Amino acid sequence: MNAGFVAGVDIGGSKALAVVVDDANRVLGQVRLPTRLGAAGVVATAAEAVRQACEMAGATPAGLSAVGVGIPGLVHPSNGSVSHAVNLDLGADPVDLGAALQRELGVPVSVENDVNAVAVGAHRLAGAPRKDLAVLSIGTGLAAGIVVDGSLHRGSRGAAGEVGHIPVDPVGRWCSCGQRGCLETIASGSALSAAWQAPLDDGTTVWSAASAGDETAQAAVRSFGAGVAAAVRLLVLAWDVEHVVLAGGVTEVGQPMLDVVRAELVAAEQGSAFLVAMRLAERVSLLPSQSPVAAVGAAVLARDVLLAEGTALPGTAVRELSQ
Amino acid sequence: MNAGFVAGVDIGGSKALAVVVDDANRVLGQVRLPTRLGAAGVVATAAEAVRQACEMAGATPAGLSAVGVGIPGLVHPSNGSVSHAVNLDLGADPVDLGAALQRELGVPVSVENDVNAVAVGAHRLAGAPRKDLAVLSIGTGLAAGIVVDGSLHRGSRGAAGEVGHIPVDPVGRWCSCGQRGCLETIASGSALSAAWQAPLDDGTTVWSAASAGDETAQAAVRSFGAGVAAAVRLLVLAWDVEHVVLAGGVTEVGQPMLDVVRAELVAAEQGSAFLVAMRLAERVSLLPSQSPVAAVGAAVLARDVLLAEGTALPGTAVRELSQ
């Protein structure tokens, strides 16, 4: 049952984080590097981060069983090519990231959407065993990753969890997707930026301004919180997941954001015994910041893909670990 | 691998339909009886329908491996008790329907929410093998049943698919659940009745009136169709199911309803390449009317429960058939 060491890389627009984990998903090495953009830059960054993480772990890239990558954008479910990752300077033409990195490192590489990687990482790293869980990733956009019965649910076309583009207001703001009033126009970093701009470049954020009593900032935070609360309700009503974990850049502010979302969940319960019975405020939590959840998730997915394909390690317990 | 004959009963507010199926889910006997209301009435109706279906199939109730029941209302996931089935005169106090029917017939009985039974039946009866599928049940209310990777997805608390109570309009009609603008206030039989009443008791329906040019009826049908289209989009965006099957009392009108829903799906694509790429109009279909889908689904679920528990038939291929 020993799959050996596996590396995972979480590639974001500004930084890439690589980990090397053992069979029990213990992190043995962890490295953060600035991301170089474009196809060649992304591959070089990922390869270098894996090499450095291996060094910390006392391993070599060639000694790894597999490498998993979590990356924003559209990931083709079968071949791991990536397109539409604008923050990484990857456009409409699919880039065969998995194959390029595999050539660079000499080990099998699997590629997964970053939100899915976070969902798998959050599921494996949860203190208590969790059967199911949704991660709501709130960054520039809004999307969810879903783990059902312990396995990532990708959907029939790899597009499950696109909850950001569900309209919830017929006269709401136009969304980049061409619809009106999508959840993403209310519950995202870009929605928050549109509703409140820092008056001076003095480090004030919408959160600090709201806390200091700025009414425009408070209204922006409440509207955002109500949008996130709506997305949480939607995930629970559609999937009946037990836990919804908030993740993504906007959650870095931490507890103040969770407080606002919980307050909006409770406010919506007024007059609805149906919502009260769902106890949503108890079911929502924040992804612990600073934990390499996406990188670990990418590593776990790489191990699972490897074992499911049964290519690498004859005689191992393929079924037990496979997704 | 022979699980023997299994019966399934679909209990509705006006009629109950029972089938007896063999291992290949072929229907060997099928009976429809008027439903008697209340706990005792429901049990007596189900028992009598199973007895008659057995007679048609050349079997006896005692010779069945199991009986499955599909029923509206809140079904407790572990013990099969039922509450809040108002059309059946079952109130807030849970009725132990499974145990009562088991005593009556002398065979193991499993009980499932009727929408879930339809989803499983539609999945098994589909011409082509389908990995996943959502059934959107449009009756007095609105709810979905979801089959993922071939298995019914019940959710952590047995409440998955409650999409009728997802709000999509902040200033919409109040819903019975205490929220505003829920999908159920737009895309349900009750929404359609609220928007259009037959002027005379002459057999005119909103559909025939719309087709005859009545503008109020046409507006009601379009609003309803847009609501169903919104629910279809939501199911595909959240789950990425390949197929959405429309079912429930309102779909008995047939093709005119499918046409309206498809027209609204296509109309919403204007200006959204994102929606165009999803090809939703091709992914939605109608449950064939007159087919005993819910009863067959209930029978399939009963067989699965039986085999998963491994209680009845030592030596059978439990894993292969279990959910």
CA distance A132 to chain B (A): 7
Q: Flag if A230 and B167 touch (Cβ within 8 Å).
A: yes
Res B90 pLDDT > 70: yes
Q: Flag if A167 and B168 touch (Cβ within 8 Å).
A: yes
Contacts of B157 in chain A (CB under 8 A): 240, 242
Confidence grade of residue B202 (pLDDT, cut at 50, 70, 90): confident
CB A68 within 8 A of CB A94: no
pLDDT confidence of residue B220: 96
Q: Which among B315, B303, B311, B318 has a CA at the least distance from the CA of B117?
A: B303
B69 Cβ partners below 8 Å, 6+ apart? B8, B9, B11, B46, B80, B97, B98, B101, B109, B110, B111, B112, B298
Q: Which of the two residues, B311 and B123, has the higher pLDDT score?
A: B123
**Which amino acid, B124?**
R
Confidence grade of residue A158 (pLDDT, cut at 50, 70, 90): confident
Contacts of A163 in chain B (CB under 8 A): 237-238
Q: Flag if B168 and A170 touch (Cβ within 8 Å).
A: yes
Q: Flag if A161 and B230 touch (Cβ within 8 Å).
A: no
| Residue of chain B whose alpha carbon sits nearest to that of A231 | B166
Taking residues A7-35, report their average pLDDT: 95
Q: Which of the two residues, B92 and B126, has the higher pLDDT score?
A: B92
B contact test, residue of A240, A243, A322 with most B CBs within 10 A:
A240
Confidence grade of residue A319 (pLDDT, cut at 50, 70, 90): very low
Q: Which of B131, B162, B274 sits opposite A165 (nearest CB)?
A: B274
What angle separates helix B215-239 from helix A215-239, to the nearest 10 degrees? 80
Angle at A72 between CA A139 and CA A300, to 5 degrees: 110
Res A316 pLDDT > 70: no
CA A110 – CA A81 distance, rounded (Å) = 10
Res B245 pLDDT > 90: yes
Confidence grade of residue A267 (pLDDT, cut at 50, 70, 90): very high
pLDDT confidence of residue A109: 95
B277 Cβ partners below 8 Å, 6+ apart? none
Residue pLDDT, tens place only, B131-143:
899 999 999 899 9
CA distance B293 to chain A (A): 23
Token digits of residue A142: 């809004």
pLDDT confidence of residue A129: 66
Q: What is the mean pLDDT of chain B?
A: 90
Residue pLDDT, tens place only, B142-159:
999 999 988 899 998 888
pLDDT confidence of residue B316: 29
pLDDT confidence of residue A122: 93
Q: What is the mean pLDDT of chain A?
A: 90
Token digits of residue B144: 């979905």
| Residue of chain A whose alpha carbon sits nearest to that of B132 | A156
Taking residues B70-89, report their average pLDDT: 86
Q: Flag if A159 and B241 touch (Cβ within 8 Å).
A: no
pLDDT confidence of residue B265: 98
Res A149 pLDDT > 90: no
Q: Flag if B268 and A169 touch (Cβ within 8 Å).
A: no
Contacts of B235 in chain A (CB under 8 A): 238
Residue pLDDT, tens place only, B290-303:
789 999 999 999 99
CA distance A104 to chain B (A): 34
pLDDT confidence of residue B3: 64
- Lowest mean pLDDT: which of A83-92, B25-34, B272-281? A83-92
Residue pLDDT, tens place only, B32-71:
999 999 999 999 999 999 999 999 999 999 999 999 999 9
| Residue of chain B whose alpha carbon sits nearest to that of A239 | B160
Q: Which of B131, B179, B272 sits opposite A177 (nearest CB)?
A: B272
Res B237 pLDDT > 80: yes
Q: Which of A238, A273, A274 sits opposite B238 (nearest CB)?
A: A238
**A·B CB contacts under 8 A:** 114
Res A201 pLDDT > 90: no
CA distance B245 to chain A (A): 15
pLDDT confidence of residue B129: 66
Q: Flag if A241 and B155 touch (Cβ within 8 Å).
A: yes
Res B119 pLDDT > 80: yes
CA B62 – CA B74 distance, rounded (Å) = 28
- The percentage of chain B sitting over the pLDDT mark of 90, rounded to a whole number, equals 75
Q: Which of the two residues, B86 and B311, has the higher pLDDT score?
A: B86
pLDDT confidence of residue A3: 63
Q: Flag if B160 and A234 touch (Cβ within 8 Å).
A: no
- Using CA atoms, how far residue A105 sits from A60, A61, B314, in Å, is 10, 6, 51
Confidence grade of residue A2 (pLDDT, cut at 50, 70, 90): low
pLDDT confidence of residue B310: 58
Residue pLDDT, tens place only, A98-130:
999 999 999 999 999 999 999 999 998 876 667
pLDDT confidence of residue A120: 95
Residue with tokens 């390869």: A47
Residue pLDDT, tens place only, A40-96:
999 999 999 999 999 999 999 999 999 999 999 888 867 889 988 888 988 888 999
- The percentage of chain A sitting over the pLDDT mark of 70, rounded to a whole number, equals 93
- Lowest mean pLDDT: which of A154-163, A237-246, B253-262? A154-163
B-side interface with A, Cβ within 8 Å? Answer: 131-132, 144, 148, 153-163, 165-170, 177-179, 230, 233-235, 237-242, 268, 271-275
Q: Flag if B271 and A178 touch (Cβ within 8 Å).
A: yes
Q: Which of B154, B155, B240 sits opposite A159 (nearest CB)?
A: B240
Residue pLDDT, tens place only, B3-22:
689 999 999 988 999 999 99
